[in-house]
Structure 1
Amino acid sequence: MPKAASHTPPWLCRPSPAASFFTRDPSKKHDSRIQNENGEYIGPQRTLAHRDTEVFAVVDNQIRWADLATLKAEWSPKPKSSPKKGKASTKKGIEEDEKTASYRILTVPVYGQIKQLVISPNGAFMAIVTAHTVHIAILPDRSHLSSTERTPLRLKTYQLGPTTHVIPESPVVSALWHPLGVHSNVEACIVTITADAAVRVWELDRNNHWSFDRPSLAIDLKKLVDGTSSDEDFTPLGFGKNKGFSADSFDMEVATACFGGTAQPAEDAWAPMTLWVAMRPGDLYALCPLLPSKWRALPATIPALSATIVPKLAVIEEQYSGIEGADDDLIACRQQYEWLKEIDDQNSANISDVDGAEILKRPSNPSVIPRLQGPFQFDADEQFNDLEITDFIIIPPRLDTAALMTGEDDEGILEENAEEGLPYTTVCLSTSSGRVHICLELDGVEGQWLPKAKANTFTTPLSEPADLLLVESLDTVRENLREANCWPTFTLDTDSRYSFYLTTSNNVSFISLSSWAQRLEAEIQSEDTAGSQFRLNVLCDGNIAAREVLIQLNENDPSLSEEPKHLTNALLLSDYDLGQLLLTYRGSTPQAVELDEQQNPVLASFSESLCGDFDRLATQNLQPLQPLHKPRRSPYQVPAIFYANEPLKSFVDEHVPHRHRSTLHEPIRLSPSTLDMIAAAHRVLAAHTGSLEKAAADLFRRCERLRGEMRDQLESIAIVADRIKNVSSHIGEDGQRQEGSRSEDVLNDRLDAAKQRQKQLAQRYSDIRSKMSKLGGRPLSEKEKSWIGEVDLLSTAIEKKVTDEEQTMRTRLETAKSLAEELLAEVKEIAKAQPPSTSEDHAITISPSSQPKIPQKLQRAKVVDAMKMVERESAVIDAITERLERLNTSFS
């Protein structure tokens, strides 16, 4: 788990050049178009993007560019001395600062507040998303942007769907670059999802402007969820057409969407071509496969699909052919086989390699539009009645390399794709209340299509809900810090795909599932299933996710009072010059954390426990020692009000009418207009001075707190110094320490005690480990199983409440005793009635009026069996009597 080495490094704080990259213009007010009538936030804040070390941010609705590696290299801790300037020189200095700014403004013809910046995988395009419009900008090369020229640069942009994504239509909630699309400096593929559940695939080509006007594939999910045939029309209604009212307008209101994978070699083959869509009420749907007309196939994609589809089809045809109820599975598998066969039959001349990937055409059989799978739901408790999805991520299952390499001699693909991971899809959802739900999808999502419009070929498909296994729910925001306008967003980690960052309105947290996923994977792959159920219960009942808060804002901080009420999405930058940097910002204040190397949480917890044991051993009969190092917190950020311009400079232009400006140069006359002007100036000046007073008061409180903390640190150091002095001091015969004395025996005794304590801990650990290995390493014998069943039956009978109709244990014991006595009496009477015999082989003589003759051997065998049965009953009765006596003794 990464640890925070420092918060907001100096090269990002004022007056460094990097701090000016996020500084807003104080004269401009915050645009309220991203807020509703109540002032609450109504969408995600993804206005921070990066391309390697290049950062793109939206400030004052302007797109700014900067290279953080260059800014850090140019930063110097020594402030530059500047001579005093007059008014003219001050104005000239401001103009020079604007020309030598550390960032560059990228101008785009975009109307409305920019809500999202999404950069293509190869860094050639950038999607600029507002509430209703999408623009595709062509990004220049880094060398062109980092030139000495700092004037605003106008980017070449294309509006995506001028008659599709417009203000009268439904707002855009997500814009995703397709992971399997063909991305180059000329071509790209992007998928847009609107709030009315319309999915559109755009295959962009700079040489064909028509590709920016209409999508290559458009699907209305509200039509598709009720579709029965692939021949139906699932295209969304065009511009200006009446859509009518439907209950799906609320149940299928899209919150966000994401692809199931990022086209990595170790992912499942179906994952990167699966589009997951999350609805605001909490339902999830999946479209698989969703492909453009030209798509990239990784080297292991087609072999993995063949290794999955072909054996499954053979098994279904062999076992379930002709069985009623299995026809749907058989036809669905045949559809996958036909889809894969069309890919294999493509002409090799039309296939080209790009970075080791093959460019293939999208199959048209069975259909280009897949079936909508879902809804996927999980069983939430009553306490989760506020399930309003804001964002989610999908962690794809690992590639089944064992099935892929069956019968193959070449292990190159296996080594390339060998990576740890679960064979199940992991779904992590965030809600508006700041709660994170972690679920598992156990069945897997594969390609499915609707049937053709022919009779007796396919039963009517039903969209039945699929269950998600809820593993854990986390509260990432404390109750007293929870905001009503919270819109949490996820950021994937670069080190592990089972780790991610969650950005809320006032904090950024790191959440890791890596440790749990590794233990679960080892248990699933284990060949020894003895005790597996017990270990799985322990894994699921314990802590699933490890969480650590990296950034926490104080809402009472006056420097944040005038800022927007939500943090932007966090970025994780990993570079040799920058290190590992987690960056976000809020208004004009950047928030960053420098992360150190990964640490093993098991070793960290073990070392902490050992330190605690040594502290308890060394500080017996002493007061607890306060920690010398206080918890790290973000450094002091200078409020923007200290750098703001004087409000009276622009007062005349904003509040004085043009026809009254000539009177400002005349002597003041008492009039209503003069009184109104002075009152307006007083309001403006009072607001400015009030903000200055709050910022100055906060700085004073911080200085007082710093003095108090320094005093506490000095007291702690003095206590430590006294303890160090007492450690080696000699203890006299009266039990008191002697001042100024030193004894090595005291140190040796303490060291021996610590070593002995360490040996005891190691021995206890080894004993517990050996016991657990014995319990889980061998199966239970029949005798142990019968003994466990008998103990459970006896405990259930004792703890069970006795009613009038039920028989108590004592009554059952008396009945058993009476039956045993009667059996014994009958056996004795039978034995007395039999005459003595002289030979074992001689038959028993019985009078003709009695029963027929019975051989002596058979009679004796029957008697022996009866005696054994009586002995067993007597033993059981004696055992029950002894246990009841012990229980009565223990209860008394």
Structure 2
Amino acid sequence: MPKVNSYAPAWLCRPSPGASLFTSASDKGPAQTQENGSKTVTPNAANRTIAKRGNEVFAVIDNEIRWSDLARLKDQWQQEARQKKSSTGPVKEQANGTKSPPYRVLAVPVYGLIKQIIPSPNGAFLAIVTENTVHISVLPDSSHLSSTDTSPIRLKTYQLGPTTHVIPEAPVVSALWHPLGLHTNLSGCIVTITADAAVRVWELDRNNHWSFDQPTLAVDLRKLVDGTSSDQDFAPSGFGKNKGFSADVIDMEVASACFAGSGNEREDAWAPMTLWVAMRPGDLYALCPLLPSKWQAPSTTIPSLSSAIVPKLAALEEAPEDLEEQLIACRQQYDWLREIDEQEPLDPPSESGNIQGADVFTRPAVPSAIPRLQGPFRFDLGDDLDDLDLCDILVIAARLNVEDLMMGEDEELAVEAIEKDKLSATVICLSSGNGRVNICLELDGVEGQWLPKSKKNTFRTPLSEPSDLVLVESLDTIKTTGNESVAWPVFTRDIHSRYSFFVTTATNVVSFSMSSWVQRLEAELQAEDPSGSGFRLQVLCSGNVAQRERILQVSETDITFPNAHLAASVVFYDFDLGYLLLTYHPSNPYAAVMDAPEDSFSAALDSHFEQRTSVPGSPAALPRRAPYQVPAVLYAASPLESFVDTQVPHRQRHTLKEQVRLSPATLDLVATAHRQLASYTNALERAASDLFRRCERLQGEMKDQLKQLSDVAERIKGVTSEIGEDGNRKEGTRNGEALDKRLQNAKDRQLELVQRYDALRKKVINSGGRPLSEKERAWAMEVNTLSESLDDQESKDEEKQQLAGRLETVKQFALDLMAETKSIAAKAPTSPDLGDSSSGSQPKVPQRLQRQRVTEAMRMVERESAVIDAITSRLGRLNHNI
């Protein structure tokens, strides 16, 4: 779990210039902005209005895109702080008395409310998503954006599908850059998913404007779910056509979508080409493989697919006829893979941004370019039969089966290729509108599937049997007093671990970590001895799966804003910035600087230390809170300053300079001004009351700290008063014996722990770490049987006699062996050097073999002595009980 060191750094808080990056530039206060209703609305999709490219950050403020380099922003703030400390006089200002903003505005011709911004993998493009439209902007290089000119820069922007993504059509839910697409400075591949379950693949090319008008592949999932043949038309209905009504309009309303993988070489080969789509009622569907016409394959993709498909096909061909459907699906995969093998890899683009060492192929035409829709995938919620109201989905791909891929290779290379943070199953995380996070496992694995070709005089009812997911845990994010009706929990992947992520809700950010649980689960799944694995797996899944901790919490003054939602968090990890999590609320940034988890052992030590130091009154038990940030309403201008220009009609402005007359128009004017002023003063009162409460709480905490300091001082004074100047305890002190006794007990306890550690260490070293042999297993079974028989009171006497006889036999056998060893040693001729050439009759034994034999003999002797000691102690306890 990440440990929060500090919250929003000083270079992002007022009065530093960096705070203006997330501050509204308009003169309207937050109350006016919220009342106007044009700035924030109730979310019905993910609010991803903050994005990153390296150390650069993009944020949507007042529906305009701002850019800034955080590392450069921090350096400028540090330089200004040094100048203020070193200068004796006042800091010189510019001639015009104003400072240039520490950001640049990216002007784009987008007129709708921007809801998502997604940079391409190589940072060359920026996808801008509104309610119904998608725009692709060309991003300049960071050196061009960080120039001395701070004027707004107009970006080259293309509208994606001017006749496809339009306002009367279904809203755009997700826009995803394909992990296996070709991403260069001139081209890219993006996938758009709309609420009416339409998936479109766009292969962009700046030299071909037609690529921005029509998708290269379009699929309507509502048609595909009932498809029987790959020859059918699954394209979405055109603009303006009557789509009719069906039950799928409600059951297949898309909430979110994501790809299972990111194109990593160490993840499952099918994962980066599998698109998971989550429906709001709770069903999940998968499209595999979903590829553009030209795609890049990592170095392990084709070999891993070959090692999985070919043996499976050979096994199914010899199987009975009951597995005919699986045989047909495997033959389709084989035909698809054979067409890829017959291709010559294309030349990869020279620009950076693609997967290193990847080969570029053309999408196979056989069996079909459109895969079969797999699903629905569901999980059992028990008695809760209501709709889940899903909001977002996060899929963590299964790891690559390195053992099968490295079969026949060097074992050391295979061990190096295996990651520690791994799991041979797919993890699916789902968030719902009530703030609940469901963690599921998909154990069967999603592979490529296609619909069959149509045949004459045949009719087949489409089969759509649901698949089951294993629900391992369902957790609630930490609730607050905010408006929960507008909450749309959004996932953000962590940088350090694949099985850690952050969930951003309307009022807080919560961290979830499954790393420790995944390692224990994978150890059980890959265990060589399956005995007892079922019980242990049940215990693992019934316990705590994910650890959660609140990272950020919105202040009370910001919670009062209606329809306000935190933007989806972004995570930075850099030498200059550290491990930084960043998000923002209207006019206020929220950030947390965390410790990077190095390994599981250090994390376990940190958690243990936190538990030991969480004693009331100790410094570690003090609450950690974000620094106070001045509410934006205190910086906003009064609404009465612009009231005349915005609220008073032009025909009534002359009446403001005349004598007040009682009339309906005057009453309406006064009521309108009162509404504006009341909302503004209400926000001011809340901000002032929050500051007053904070000051009172600070005084109370300072009193508690002073009281604790005085108690500690009295204790120190009492201890030091009993010690003389020479460092020895004074005679006649009352607490000397008690303190000496406590010290001696602590030393004895420490000595006992050291002895226990040494004994355990010797046992582990003597065991050798190898699996038990057949004789050792039989001996363990005999010991268990003997212990069970000793529990029976009637058979204790008989077992005592048998054990005593066996013990005497073992002792006599040991004495005979020792006597025989001494006689053989006395009869053997002595030789100064066994390895000398003069003793020709003696065999030459290498010293390494001698040490090995001696070590094995010592281990056998220690094991036998341990057995004898255990039997002797058991007999002693038996005699004592009798």
Give, in whole Å, the separation in 2 of the partners of 1:467 and 1:608: 35
Greater Cα offset, 324-333 or 282-291: 324-333
Give, in whole Å, the separation in 2 of the partners of 1:102 and 1:408: 55
Give, in whole Å, the separation in 2 of the partners of 1:710 and 1:607: 27
Shift of 1:179: 0.1
Counterpart position of 1:514? 515
Counterpart position of 2:251? 251
Counterpart position of 1:594? 593
Secondary structure of 1:648's counterpart equals coil
CA 1:751–1:534: 2 relative to 1, 3 Å: farther
Secondary structure of 1:71's counterpart equals helix
Give, in whole Å, the separation in 1 of the partners of 2:490 and 2:315: 43
Counterpart position of 2:54? 52
Shift of 1:779: 6.1
| Aligned residue among 38, 41, 44 for 1:42 | 44
Counterpart position of 2:485? 484
Letter of the structure 2 residue corresponding to residue 470 of structure 1: L
Letter of the structure 1 residue corresponding to residue 324 of structure 2: D
Q: Is residue 703 from structure 1 mapped to residue 695 from structure 2 by the alignment?
A: yes
Residues 559 and 637 in structure 1, CA contact (< 8 A), matched pair in contact too: no
Give, in whole Å, the separation in 1 of the partners of 2:607 and 2:730: 33
Unmatched segments (≥5 aa) in structure 1: 617-623, 732-736, 795-892
Counterpart position of 1:722? 714
Shift of 1:514: 0.4
Residues 175 and 193 in structure 2, CA contact (< 8 A), matched pair in contact too: yes
CA 1:738–1:627: 2 relative to 1, 3 Å: farther
Residues 421 and 497 in structure 2, CA contact (< 8 A), matched pair in contact too: no
Secondary structure of 1:5's counterpart equals strand
Residues 402 and 417 in structure 2, CA contact (< 8 A), matched pair in contact too: no
Counterpart position of 1:654? 646
Shift of 1:141: 0.8
Secondary structure of 2:697's counterpart equals helix
CA 1:173–1:413: 2 relative to 1, 3 Å: farther
Q: Is residue 561 from structure 1 mapped to residue 553 from structure 2 by the alignment?
A: no
Q: Is residue 644 from structure 1 mapped to residue 643 from structure 2 by the alignment?
A: no
Residues 628 and 713 in structure 1, CA contact (< 8 A), matched pair in contact too: no
CA 1:760–1:786: 2 relative to 1, 3 Å: closer
Q: Is residue 188 from structure 1 mapped to residue 180 from structure 2 by the alignment?
A: no
Q: Is residue 345 from structure 1 mapped to residue 347 from structure 2 by the alignment?
A: no
Letter of the structure 2 residue corresponding to residue 64 of structure 1: R
Letter of the structure 1 residue corresponding to residue 477 of structure 2: T
Counterpart position of 2:571? 572
Shift of 1:583: 0.4
Residues 437 and 470 in structure 1, CA contact (< 8 A), matched pair in contact too: yes
Shift of 1:357: 1.2
Partner deviation per Cα, 1:112-165 (whole Å, 9 max, x = no partner): 111111110000001100111000011111111111111111111111111111
Shift of 1:260: 0.6
Shift of 1:546: 1.0
What are the residue-to-residue correspondences of 1:276-295 with 2, within 5 Å?
A: 276-295=276-295
Counterpart position of 2:112? 112
Shift of 1:649: 1.9
What are the residue-to-residue correspondences of 1:117-516 with 2, within 5 Å?
A: 117-317=117-317, 319-320=318-319, 323-348=320-345, 355-383=356-384, 385=386, 387-408=388-409, 415=416, 418=419, 420-454=421-455, 462-478=463-479, 483-516=484-517
Secondary structure of 2:581's counterpart equals strand
Partner deviation per Cα, 1:498-539 (whole Å, 9 max, x = no partner): 100011111101100100111111222222333323332332
Residues 117 and 127 in structure 2, CA contact (< 8 A), matched pair in contact too: yes
Shift of 1:674: 5.6
CA 1:431–1:762: 2 relative to 1, 3 Å: farther
CA 1:683–1:440: 2 relative to 1, 3 Å: closer
Shift of 1:467: 0.7
Secondary structure of 2:485's counterpart equals coil
Letter of the structure 2 residue corresponding to residue 427 of structure 1: I
Letter of the structure 1 residue corresponding to residue 489 of structure 2: P
Residues 405 and 411 in structure 1, CA contact (< 8 A), matched pair in contact too: no
Give, in whole Å, the separation in 2 of the partners of 1:701 and 1:544: 38
Q: Is residue 688 from structure 1 mapped to residue 680 from structure 2 by the alignment?
A: yes
CA 1:226–1:613: 2 relative to 1, 3 Å: closer
Shift of 1:626: 5.2
Counterpart position of 2:532? 531
What do you get for the CA RMSD once the two structures are aligned? Answer: 3.7
Shift of 1:725: 3.5
CA 1:32–1:660: 2 relative to 1, 3 Å: closer
Give, in whole Å, the separation in 1 of the partners of 2:457 and 2:719: 90
Counterpart position of 1:839? none
Residues 729 and 741 in structure 1, CA contact (< 8 A), matched pair in contact too: no
Give, in whole Å, the separation in 1 of the partners of 2:313 and 2:545: 37
Secondary structure of 1:382's counterpart equals coil
Give, in whole Å, the separation in 2 of the partners of 1:788 and 1:466: 47
Shift of 1:304: 0.8
Residues 192 and 199 in structure 1, CA contact (< 8 A), matched pair in contact too: yes
CA 1:409–1:503: 2 relative to 1, 3 Å: same
Q: May I ask how many residue pairs the two structures share in their alignment?
A: 764
Give, in whole Å, the separation in 2 of the partners of 1:312 and 1:265: 22
Shift of 1:679: 5.3
CA 1:284–1:767: 2 relative to 1, 3 Å: farther
Greater Cα offset, 536-545 or 12-21: 536-545
Give, in whole Å, the separation in 2 of the partners of 1:740 and 1:661: 93
What are the residue-to-residue correspondences of 1:542-557 with 2, within 5 Å?
A: 542-554=543-555, 557=556
Give, in whole Å, the separation in 1 of the partners of 2:620 and 2:451: 66
CA 1:477–1:410: 2 relative to 1, 3 Å: closer
Partner deviation per Cα, 1:716-738 (whole Å, 9 max, x = no partner): 1112222334456659xxxxx99
Shift of 1:543: 1.3
Give, in whole Å, the separation in 2 of the partners of 1:531 and 1:136: 55
Greater Cα offset, 419-428 or 481-490: 481-490
What are the residue-to-residue correspondences of 1:778-797 with 2, within 5 Å?
A: none
Partner deviation per Cα, 1:664-683 (whole Å, 9 max, x = no partner): 55676777656654554454
Give, in whole Å, the separation in 1 of the partners of 2:732 and 2:15: 52
Partner deviation per Cα, 1:673-696 (whole Å, 9 max, x = no partner): 566545544543444333323322
CA 1:349–1:392: 2 relative to 1, 3 Å: closer
Secondary structure of 1:21's counterpart equals helix
Residues 729 and 739 in structure 1, CA contact (< 8 A), matched pair in contact too: no
Give, in whole Å, the separation in 2 of the partners of 1:578 and 1:54: 11
Unmatched segments (≥5 aa) in structure 2: 724-728, 793-882
Give, in whole Å, the separation in 2 of the partners of 1:458 and 1:338: 24
Letter of the structure 2 residue corresponding to residue 347 of structure 1: E
Counterpart position of 2:584? 585
Residues 106 and 153 in structure 2, CA contact (< 8 A), matched pair in contact too: yes
Counterpart position of 2:878? none
Residues 71 and 102 in structure 1, CA contact (< 8 A), matched pair in contact too: yes
Query: Please, what TM-score do these two structures have when normalized by structure 2?
Result: 0.79
CA 1:681–1:451: 2 relative to 1, 3 Å: closer
Query: Please, what TM-score do these two structures have when normalized by structure 1?
Result: 0.79
Greater Cα offset, 307-316 or 406-415: 406-415
Counterpart position of 2:817? none
Residues 2 and 599 in structure 1, CA contact (< 8 A), matched pair in contact too: no
CA 1:361–1:419: 2 relative to 1, 3 Å: farther
| Aligned residue among 31, 37, 51 for 1:32 | 37
Shift of 1:420: 3.7
Secondary structure of 1:325's counterpart equals helix
Letter of the structure 1 residue corresponding to residue 576 of structure 2: D
Residues 483 and 562 in structure 2, CA contact (< 8 A), matched pair in contact too: no
Give, in whole Å, the separation in 1 of the partners of 2:610 and 2:280: 47
Greater Cα offset, 354-363 or 627-636: 627-636
